[in-house]
Structures are given as structure tokens and as C-alpha cells.
Amino acid sequence: MADIAMLSDAPVNWRGDLLQFRRYVDPLVSVITNPHTETPFTIGIYGAWGSGKSTLLQMIDERLLDRHGDRFVRVHFNPWVHRREAEMLLPLLNALHDELAKDPRQRFTDTVKRLGAIMLNLAADELLKKLKLESMSVERIGRLAQQYAELRGQVDSQAGRLRGLLQEEADRLAGQGRTIVFFIDDLDRCEPDQIIDLLESIKLFLDLRNVFVVMALAKEVVDRGVSVKYQSFGFPPGQHAAIGDEYLDKMIQLPLHLYPLGPAEVRRFIAESRPGELAKAHVATLERIVVPNPRKIKRVLNLLQVTEAIIEASPALAALHTDLVVRLVVLRVQSPELFAEAARRPDLLVALELVHQGKLVPGSPQGFQARFKSQAEQLQELVQTSRDRHRFLADLFAGSAFEASADDLPLYLTMIGG
């Protein structure tokens, strides 16, 4: 058996740029480095889950470091790592503090100290909010209440002045020839209300001179966050996308939507991703049926390589049709819930094939009843639901031969994970 090399979800560097992200990087770096670009300035990189947003952020960061290393303080913040914290502002400031503190020449010592003081007061406020006083004496409670009131006044004053304080520090850094660039990734993995809270903190506290913000986000997730955060406002149904557009327009000066992959790019991506023999043999089919999403394609190729090794090591599986294996692996990755339904009812694959090949009318109860007997009603409902939800199914079942292998479908499904 040949060695199996898996594809990772980790962002790739320039050598692994299979998606030609170079076409985005240089224009965006030019925007950031051009002295005539006015700040504050926020760049929004929009793309679906798995479309390569993290890779693009990393490549922009690498280019800034390689060609303009002394001009920028590059701060990376992943809100998903801090998703369990009540307030995102403190870890966001901490990311800036830590980046400045790492400077080997200690050029930003004063700024680090001032940021540390701000963070200390904000952290003290969060701790005081969580104090439990059940087992304390009356005197102890009284002393704590007085201390809380005194510190609360300091914290309120500090928080109220926070934007001004941050602006002072950004200006000081600019006086030393350094501009702050925040890279914010994985925002769309947070809870909807957290997404909006962080976006509002960014707008309130980081909308500053000499500061760039580059954030990656999925637009539909922001739309959902707006609908959750402001549901009490009674927005009309179906208006969340438009409201999300308006919301983001107020804070993002440059919205960049990643181009979807075309068939030729999908083919090249597969060919250059070290696919196994099974994928190579069916690349034309894969080109048609995989969704143009790099993360999904990687999962399909990984599962195909493992499945190929299982077939090679199992003489009883030698007679399986590899075309069906490829189609089922794609179904397993791109629609796990539909694959699970097929594992429970293998005839669902036959029903989908007959409908998509025009051999069975989806709205014909009589046709389903004649072909599937007692399963007819359930299969008809599943077929209708899946056709509305998954557009890739038309290509997946075009030219397939699941009906011809109906008796062996449980074996196929079990092998792939049903």
C-alpha cells in the first residue's frame, strides 16, 4: 500500500497557493502601504466557510513582514479562541499589548505599560462583577463595597476615555514610523450575538487614525448575528441580508468578495493536491460534482485516499464500482445528513437517481408507490427536501448507476461510514 498523505485545513503559504491568492495579496498590501490611504481603514474579506479566507490573511501578513516589516505592528486576533469570555475587548487589547511587548529592541515600552494599565483596570472590573459574597461577614462586605465603588469610578473613567487613550497610543506609534494592522479571523465561528458585539467593539474602539483592520467573515453569518442581536426591533422577514449589508457598510471601507472557483480551477486544485489514484481516475466526475470550496475538496480527497486503501486491502470489495464510490464519498462530505438518511434507507439513492435522470416524476405518488412500495411516502418527501436544499445533487446523480447496484448499496454505504 502506498503512503497516504493527508491535506490539512491550516492556512497555506506562498508555495501552497493553489487558489492563486496572489491576485488579491498585492492590491491589498498596496492599499495598506500607500501613504495616501486615509485611516481609519477596514478591509472586509468575504467568503464562505472553507473558501480560503484564513490563507489570504496569512499571505497578506507575510507580504507585509517580508517587504515592510519595520513599518507595521501586525496584531493577530482570533475571537473564537476567546468565545467563552463575556467581553472580547480585553483579549483584543491583550493581543496588541503582547505584540508590542515582543519587540526585541524594546521600542514600545511606554505604550506597553500604558496598555497594561488600561487592561488591568478593565480586568479588575470583570473580576469585581463576578465576586461571590455569600460567606463573607458584614464588615468584609462593607469594605469590598467601598473598594468596589472607588475602583468602579476609576474603571468607568478609564473605559470612557479608552478610545482617546488608544488613539494617543496609535499616534505615538505613528510618530515612530509604525502603523497598527489588526488581522481578525474566525469571527464567523463565534455565536451570532458575539459576532455583533465584537464588530461593535471594533467600530467603537479601533476606528482610529493610523490603524488598519483586516477581517475575514462570512456575510450570511453576520446577517444571522444581526437578526439575533436585534430581533426585538421587529425587522420584516427576509430583510436580514439587507440590514446586514447596511450594518457592514458603516464599518468596512473595502469589501472584497473572494471569487468562487470555476471548473478549471477545481480541476487544477485537485491535480495539484497530490490526489490518490482513485481521485485521478475520476477527476472529470469530481470536477462536476464537488462544490467549489477548498475545504470541502480537501475532505473529499482525504476520504477518497483512505477509502482507496481500504478497498485495496479488502478482496471482498474488489468488485465495487469506483465511480459509485467517488460519488458517495462526495455525498458523505457535502451532505452528511442526506448520506445518513441513505445509510438508513439505501433505496433513497435509487430514488434520487431516478428523479434526477428524469425516470421518475418527483410529484407523482403513484410512480413512487409502484417502485418503492411501503417506503414510497418517506422517500418522496426526502427526495423533495434534498432537491430544494442541495443543488449539487443534479450533477452527482447525472450518469450514475446506483439502481444497477441496488443490492450492494448497503456495502458501499457501510464502507464509507454509513
**How do the domains of the chain map onto residue ranges?**
20-257, 263-416
What top-level class would CATH report for the domain 20-257? alpha beta
- Alpha carbon 174 to chain centroid distance? 32
Q: Residues 135-176: pLDDT tens digits?
A: 444 455 445 545 545 544 554 555 557 788 889 889 999 999
Average pLDDT, the chain: 84
Sheet holding 211-217, edge to edge: 72-77, 179-184, 211-217, 41-46, 254-257
Look at residue 381 in the predicted model and tell me its pLDDT.
Answer: 94
Q: Residues 175-233: pLDDT tens digits?
A: 999 999 999 998 878 887 788 888 888 888 889 999 999 999 888 777 777 777 766 66
* Partners of 180 in the β-ladder: 73, 211
Check residue 275 and report its DSSP letter. -
Look at 77-91, 98-112, 217-231, 323-337 and tell me which has the smallest mean pLDDT: 217-231
Q: Which helix (H) or strand (E) holds 32?
A: helix 22-33
User: Using CA atoms, how far apart are residues 203 and 42, in angstroms rounded to an integer?
Assistant: 9
- Each as own residue / partner, the long-range contacts of residues 155-163 (CB below 8 Å, 24 or more positions apart, any chain) are 155/121, 155/122, 155/124, 155/125, 158/118, 158/121, 158/122, 159/121, 159/122, 159/125, 162/118, 162/205, 163/204, 163/205, 163/208
| % of residues, the chain, pLDDT over 90 | 48
Quickly count: other Cβ atoms within 10 Å of residue 413's Cβ. 20
User: Using CA atoms, how far apart are residues 9 and 80, in angstroms rounded to an integer?
Assistant: 16
Q: Are 43 and 214 in contact (CB under 8 A)?
A: yes
Q: Which helix (H) or strand (E) holds 181?
A: strand 179-184
